[in-house]
Amino acid sequence: MSQPTAPLISIKDLHKTYVRGSEHIHAVDGITLDIQEKEYIAFVGPSGSGKTTLLHLLGCLDNPTSGELKVAERTVYSEKAAMNERDLTKLRRELYGYVFQKFYLIPTLTVEENILLPFAFYCKPDAHKNAQHLADLLGISHRLNHLPKELSGGEMQRVAIARALINKPQILLADEPTGNLDSKRSAEISDIFSKLNQEEGLTIILVTHNPAMAKSAGRMVELRDGKLV
């Protein structure tokens, strides 16, 4: 690892400004940051400090107001160019998996179908194999034929994680994944994340309020008022 490789994600002087009436909210206010491949980075900071906004920008879910965003050496956003929605979708399919505080499972689909949901939109070979592997890894193999409403909160989040990983992404984005879980379940999810990072080499970008979980990340970055501290 002596050879310095290009960062997986690189942002320069990134801004996201919301306009609410006459008020301008600088949710992300000039952040410059590199994230390396296989890194496990955790963003912390008080509520309203801009963590979610930054995460969405890093995940190509939202467009910055200004600055530059490069992912896997592709320019997602710069002063000159912005990727169109179609390419963004392709990029997301290829590189990203997302986990949110709310699990957003489709209530009418079984656990297995929820995990395989991305393949309703595009195909990847060996999907079923990966599904089985993920289910085992996340300890939900016995739940595959259940509906989300029959699961506990911890199990639902595991399903959401499995769904996020089904397309074998390089980057897992997680916004307060344990926000709705008790401490025991949170610890379990935290362990899973560490394991995914160490054993599978997954790049993880995490936003959390959970200090224990933040500590397990390789790098912890604090935000305040849209700026790095």
Ligand X SMILES: Nc1ncnc2c1ncn2[C@@H]1O[C@H](COP(=O)(O)OP(=O)(O)O)[C@@H](O)[C@H]1O
- Residue 173 Cβ, how far from Mg ion at the closest point, in Å? 12
Q: Which is nearer to ligand X, 5 or 47 (by Cβ)? A: 47
Q: Which does 192 bind (CB under 5 to 8 A by kind): Mg ion, ligand X, other proteins, none?
A: none
Q: Where are the alpha helices (DSSP H) in the chain?
A: 51-58, 85-95, 111-116, 127-138, 153-165, 183-199, 211-216
Q: Among 12, 17, 25, 141, which residue interacts with ligand X (rule: CB under 6 A)?
A: 25
Written as six digits, the tokens of 86 are: 């179609």
Q: x/- string (CB under 8 A) for other proteins, residues 14-33?
A: --------------------
Three-state SS at 25: strand
Chain-centre distance for alpha carbon 210: 16
CA distance 109 to 106: 6
Specify whether the CB–CB gap between 38 and 202 falls below 8 A.
yes
Q: Is 52 in the site for Mg ion (CB under 5 A)?
A: yes
Tell me how crowded residue 197 is: count the other CB atoms within 10 A of its CB.
20
- Residue 155 Cβ, how far from ligand X at the closest point, in Å? 25
Written as six digits, the tokens of 76 are: 């997602």
Q: Is 61 in the site for other proteins (CB under 8 A)?
A: yes
Q: Is 199 in the site for other proteins (CB under 8 A)?
A: no
Q: Is 51 in the site for ligand X (CB under 6 A)?
A: yes
Q: Is 190 in the site for other proteins (CB under 8 A)?
A: no
- Residue 223 Cβ, how far from ligand X at the closest point, in Å? 7
Specify whether the CB–CB gap between 200 and 188 falls below 8 A.
no
Whole-number Cα distances in Å, 211 to 76, 154, 179, 185, 202:
32, 18, 12, 15, 21
Stretch that binds other proteins, among 29-37, 103-111, 187-195, 208-216 (CB under 8 A): 103-111
Q: Is 22 in the site for ligand X (CB under 6 A)?
A: no
Q: Is 121 in the site for other proteins (CB under 8 A)?
A: yes
Specify whether the CB–CB gap between 155 and 143 falls below 8 A.
yes
Altogether, the residues listed in the chain come to a count of 229
Q: Where does this chain bind ligand X (CB under 6 A)?
A: 18, 20, 25, 27, 45, 47-53
Q: Where does this chain bind Mg ion (CB under 5 A)?
A: 52
Q: Where does this chain bind other proteins (CB under 8 A)?
A: 56, 61-62, 85-86, 89, 92-93, 98, 100, 102, 104, 106-109, 113, 116-122, 127-128, 163, 167
